[in-house]
Amino acid sequence: MTVRGDHKEPARCRPDLVIGRDELYADARGQLADGGSVLLHGPAGIGKSTVLRALAAENAGGARTVLRCSATESESHLPFLALADLFGLVLDRVSAGLPAAQRTALESALTGRGESSLQRDGLALRLAVLSTLRALAAEGPVLVVADDLQWLDSASAELLGFAARRLGDTPVQMLCAVRTEGQEYDRHLRACPPDTHAVRLGPFSRAQVSALLDHRGYTGLSRSTVRDIHRTSAGNPLFALELGRALAESPTRPRPGEPLPVPTSLRALVLSRLGMLSDEARRTLLVASAGARPTLALLHAAGREQAEAETAQAAALGLVTTDPEDPALRFAHPLISAALYAEAPAHERRAVHTALSTAASDPIERARHLALATTGTDPDVAARLAGAAALARDRGAPSVAASLGLLAARHTPGDSTPGPDERRLQAAEDAIIAGEADLARDIAREVLTRATVPAERVRAWMVVIEAAGQALGEVDAVFPQVLADAGDDPRLLALVHYQLAWRELVVHGDFDKARQEAAHAADLAARGEDRRTELMALAFQSSTETLMGHPNAAATVKRALREPQDPYVACHHNGAGMARFRWLLMSDQLPQARTTITGLLREARRRGMVESEVHFLRFLADTELRTGHCGRALDLARESLRLARDSGIGEGASAMLASLAEASGGDVDRALALAREAADHAEVDGDQMYLSRALAALGYAQLVAGDAAGTVRSLRRVRELERGMGITDPARGRWHGDLAEALVRVGEPAEAQDLINRTRAHALRLDRPGVLAVLDRAEALVRAARGEHQAAEALLSSAQDRLGKLGYGLEEARSAFVLARLRARRPGAVAYEEAARLFRRCRAVPWLRQVDAAVAAGPVRPETVPPAAPDALDGLASMERQVASLVMEGATNREIAGRLFISVKTVEATLTRVYRKLGIRSRVDIVRLAAGRRTQ
């Protein structure tokens, strides 16, 4: 069918509704914008049609004619049907211009009248299709949109391919989609122009599945459920949506350890093949679907004596895959396993689990099967499950431990010791460690509806508070209740005051009160002989003191590291090891800091501590960034952000660090977007601490992007936030040099110098040599702006040398770049080689682009001493007088920017203020002022 170029697609096809395909969409969009064609390919349900509709809607406006067809399997045997869809409504427009033989052949094929065929009218029909496309293109660009190319009837496919290969520069583009299971899309390219770009749509990540479900309104699903949907769907968006819909419509959710319910719509996709299995082979596959890692040996142990023959039958039908080098039996898609299990009656499932409870070799797996085979409470089963949960915890699998703990609680009689709620709380604490905060919160809330024992209630409240993450403002009303539940028990009060310390820091931004609450919590925990809480409180106190620049920071770090240590605290992201890392990093001990954080990350991964892993990845990225390993930092920061988005933990903090890494070694536009995302997260959470960090990242990204005014706005706000929080250690965010540099660029050298002086006093008091070197670089910019170039060069050389010796590779390179820009003002100077070499060593791509731009701009004209300003300039500010004086000498805006070490935008803004103050309209009027002065 034909669609005019002004056709508007339904809102559901707008590109902004294409979820999880940003890079792929941009790739295809670029190809189409360049006049090329695109073939989208991937498995069923992967989202090809959605992307195709969005691209078609976006590109239809630039086409005079849009031709569309969408084939179906049931119609694929009908010859010329797709051709009729494409040309049926435009034949009248072009048929008169076709040669008679071509017109007759095409009309016969499209209308079904006569007996046209490729055998009888082959050449005429082929030429008719080519001529039709050329005739339409003569009126304006043509876009051919073809979905489900695999069902295109063979005659239409052959004709399109013939024409596509001969269009040459004719303005005809094709946008097609085809279903493929692997990479076998080559044969479909024969129906497309030679310049067609094939784009494969792959599975969604867990975060993308979550975003898709949220967009479709399935917002009540927990993250653990989303994880199961992602696993069962294998990232296929259609399958994920169907599973999400089934869960949303189901009155009951699956119990722990049970697979997701598979809706009828999805079962139909796989059960047709299952129906071809023998009954015995189907039972064997049911056992395999219930096993965690099924093998032929496991199937034999579970009583399936003919497992080899029955799995071979399933493999022949494409239901399972086998590998001679891998004993595991794998389903071709997780949905097959889920559908098979969901279709089985409850008594068959229990029989399978009974068999596997003795056949499985792993004690955790045996316990899980025993629980799923048992109905009602059973203290022996509950005890075995609790033991299996402890084993999973020790193995570093807290998510498995949480699932087993909930199964244990379900089978625990109400009068047992420990009771069902105690086991539920242990499961909730395991879920927190595993990064499943929503599951933990739901468990704790359920316990609170009936618990009366103070210790259990406080423990449940602690889970609720922990599950809130950085959004502590959302649970602020909890604290009076939990204090009342704690009574005068020092152990319980220690837990509460530890969380109150976090509230003071995150919600109120008061570092001093947070430090006091942490110290009080440590004292209470010591009285209650709760070493774990005491160490956590001391670690928090030491970190707060370090960030504040408090004189007791080093001593408190030593107290937090004193034996005996608790293994959990030692590798927790808020524990003693982290406190030591932060102290090392801020003290410019980069090699020791890297060793410390690498060890913490390794231990967190071993223990399955997801939240700690997110933060340790981020801190390791920060360390690598400081040492000038921008490529490595970018990889780590992106990994941290992916994990944060998948788990819903630390997204703002990870986005902040990813912004810094992108601005230093990746894409500056992405850096700006990530910094704003991080700031939005902090604003929503009411988190003052991370808001300042996010704005500092935004200011840095703006500086790299050349937006000095934006940098000043962002970092001035950071300055105010840190003053309000009581932060005095400039090593906390190290943003002061960036603000000073931006202030110079916007023509505020006096404010920059004042900032440098104040910051330097704190850096000297706290012995922060890295900060001092960066401040010297900033002061060199101030001096250069004032014309003191010799002193500026001396400061820059010293700063570069010191930063290099301290191991700050990127800051060393930045200092070399500033020095090069200053020296480039001398005639004949070749200044940029050293800066370029250092930036290449750091893989600092955005900074290298700045070097390239500086080299391309060429040398700045030799310095001249500006004439004394005439009386008319006396009312101007210092920077305004300098700019006006250089205009009087005939300097261009770029030359003025180079001379005064500011941006061209700042020169333009300054001139606007000069015009306003002097009552003139242009730089010509300033030159006239100079001429008037010389004739006096």
Q: For position 860, what pLDDT does the model report? A: 52
Q: For position 531, what pLDDT does the model report? A: 95
Maximum average pLDDT range among 152-161, 418-427, 923-932:
418-427
Q: For position 868, what pLDDT does the model report? A: 39
Does 2 have pLDDT greater than 50? Answer: no
Q: For position 4, what pLDDT does the model report? A: 36
Rounded Cα distance between 875 and 887, Å, is 17
Q: For position 865, what pLDDT does the model report? A: 35
Does 383 have pLDDT greater than 80? Answer: yes
DSSP 8-state class, residue 200 = E
Tokens 């430090």 appear where? 515
Residue 773's closest CA among 734, 722, 821, 739? 734
Compute CA 562 distance to the chain's CA centroid, rounded to the nearest angstrom: 38
Segment among 317-331, 840-854, 885-899 with least mean pLDDT: 885-899
- Which residues are CB-contacts of 672 (< 8 A; sequence separation ≥ 6)? 659, 663, 698, 701, 702, 705
Higher pLDDT, 881 or 590: 590
Contact 513, 479 (CB under 8 A): no
Higher pLDDT, 125 or 615: 615
Rounded Cα distance between 547 and 553, Å, is 9
Pull the structure tokens for residue 329: 């039996």
Does 520 have pLDDT greater than 50? Answer: yes
SS3 content of the chain, % helix, strand, coil (to 5): 70, 5, 30
Confidence of residue 116 (pLDDT cuts 50, 70, 90): low
Rounded Cα distance between 893 and 91, Å, is 60
Q: What is the pLDDT of residues 243-270, one digit of tens each?
A: 888 888 777 777 665 677 777 777 776 6
Specify the pTM.
0.73
Q: Where are the alpha helices (DSSP H) in 118-263?
A: 122-139, 154-164, 186-189, 206-215, 223-233, 237-249
Q: Is 450 helix (H, G, I), strand (E, B) or coil?
A: coil
Beta strands per DSSP E along 274-378: 320-323, 326-331
Beta strands per DSSP E along 248-387: 320-323, 326-331
Higher pLDDT, 468 or 426: 426
Q: What is the percentage of the chain residues whose pLDDT exceeds 90?
A: 45
Length of the chain in residues, anyone? 936
Segment among 298-302, 308-312, 533-537, 904-908 with least mean pLDDT: 904-908
Segment among 25-29, 340-344, 918-922 with least mean pLDDT: 918-922
Q: For position 113, what pLDDT does the model report? A: 56
Does 628 have pLDDT greater than 90? Answer: yes
- Which residues are CB-contacts of 793 (< 8 A; sequence separation ≥ 6)? 780, 819, 822, 823
Does 230 have pLDDT greater than 70? Answer: yes
Segment among 276-280, 422-426, 685-689 with least mean pLDDT: 685-689
Higher pLDDT, 62 or 695: 695
Instruction: Give kind and range of the element (H or E) at residue 505.
Output: helix 490-506
Q: For position 9, what pLDDT does the model report? A: 36
Residues 409-446, buried b or exposed e (16+ Cβ, 10 A)?
A: bbbbeeeeeebbbbbbbbbbbbbbbbbbbbbbbbbbee
DSSP string, 746-781: TT-HHHHHHHHHHHHHHHHHHT-HHHHHHHHHHHHH
Rounded Cα distance between 929 and 884, Å, is 10
Tell me the residue type at 303: G
Residue 292's closest CA among 343, 334, 252, 229? 334
Does 183 have pLDDT greater than 60? Answer: no
Higher pLDDT, 862 or 470: 470
Q: Is 325 helix (H, G, I), strand (E, B) or coil?
A: coil
Does 816 have pLDDT greater than 60? Answer: yes
Mean pLDDT of 315-336: 82
Confidence of residue 492 (pLDDT cuts 50, 70, 90): very high
Rounded Cα distance between 126 and 131, Å, is 9
Rounded Cα distance between 62 and 60, Å, is 5
Higher pLDDT, 877 or 635: 635
Does 708 have pLDDT greater than 50? Answer: yes
Segment among 100-104, 182-186, 408-412, 872-876 with least mean pLDDT: 182-186
DSSP 8-state class, residue 687 = -
Confidence of residue 828 (pLDDT cuts 50, 70, 90): very low
Rounded Cα distance between 826 and 851, Å, is 17
Contact 174, 146 (CB under 8 A): yes
Q: What is the pLDDT of residues 572-588, one digit of tens each?
A: 999 989 989 999 999 99
Q: What is the pLDDT of residues 854-909, one digit of tens each?
A: 888 766 544 333 443 445 666 777 677 778 878 877 778 877 776 666 777 778 88
Q: For position 370, what pLDDT does the model report? A: 92
Give, in order, the Cα–Cα distances in Å from 778 to each of 692, 733, 757, 814. 21, 16, 11, 11
Contact 658, 640 (CB under 8 A): yes
Q: Where are the alpha helices (DSSP H) in 627-707?
A: 630-647, 651-665, 668-685, 688-704
Does 137 have pLDDT greater than 70? Answer: yes
Mean pLDDT value across the chain: 86
Q: What is the pLDDT of residues 659-695, one digit of tens each?
A: 999 999 999 999 999 999 999 988 888 888 889 999 9
Does 104 have pLDDT greater than 70? Answer: yes
